[in-house]
Structure 1
Amino acid sequence: MFNYLPPLNDHNLPYSDTIHPIVVHFVIAMVLFAFLCDVIGYFTRNFRLYEVSWWNMLIATVSIFVAIIFGQYEAGLAQPYEAVRPVLHLHTLMGWSLSGIIAAITGWRYVIRLENPEKLPISYLGLLLFLVTIVSVQVYLGDKLVWVYGLHTVPVVEAIKEGILQ
């Protein structure tokens, strides 16, 4: 059965580079842009920005599940060594939590949009600010996994294969 799987490259992946960061950066941009559109729309009374925000949150909701699928797959292929495991576990837990939080906020946004597309409660903006804070912490953890612990980088993959990192 394993003969049908593609061989792993020097990044310990069956494809040329990691896909998770590409998809997750898309989600980050969509959430931040949705927040920006809602804040600007709230203070300028430009209600068309609320529509832009809605579509960004909807696409972010779908995209975060794609990011999680690739993240789980690539984390498994990374063969995380002992020092990286706590950060990776926290990053994973927060990623799954964010998927639920983003989906719930998007659901609430849908209800707000149905009731009055030209009005946005300040509590919603507060919740979005909280979401942006959580996303920022998640970005920090993801950066740490790559830039500090070197997951899927050639030197770290080689060190794991040689048994230097465990």
Structure 2
Amino acid sequence: MEDKITKEYTYITLRQQPQIKDKVAEWFHCKWGVPKEVYLECMEDYLNNETEYGWYLCLDGDKIVGGLGVIENDFHDRKDLTPNVCAVFTEQEYRCRGIAGHLLNMVVGDLKSKDITPIYLLTDHTDFYERYGWEFLCMVQGNDEADMSRMYIHK
């Protein structure tokens, strides 16, 4: 039996497998509750080269087990802090295997190669993103959120 901890996963951008965009949009929708159409619109812009704000995935065979995206603004009041990594998610049974960290490093490298820096990330987590070179920047007000959330920056 293959050791799942050391198993090789496939990391891709959506541009590498555009035919799975509906599946990807549905996956993100199920994780975050944002309408599938919103994801599809952002993905279409990326696939049509209208933006470099892309979608990054970890696959186990043909199963999506982790992913994240990059959008202009992740539903907060600081419109000047852009672009934003969004929708970071790893399936429960795949956590603690470095998948999210690999995806974060992948997006940072990809955007830096396109001279898109700095990038931002909105989260309520502490002590996770710092492991991957992210620094706490400030608190921001999320749209329709009672409490402030943490904004991180990667330079």
Which TM-score tier does this pair reach, normalised by the shorter chain?
Answer: under 0.3
Higher strand share: 2
Asked which structure has the greater CA Rg, the reply is: 1
With structure 1 as the length reference, what TM-score do the two structures score?
0.25
Q: Which has the higher contact order (CA 8 A, sep 6+)?
A: 1
Structure (1 or 2) with the greater helix fraction: 1
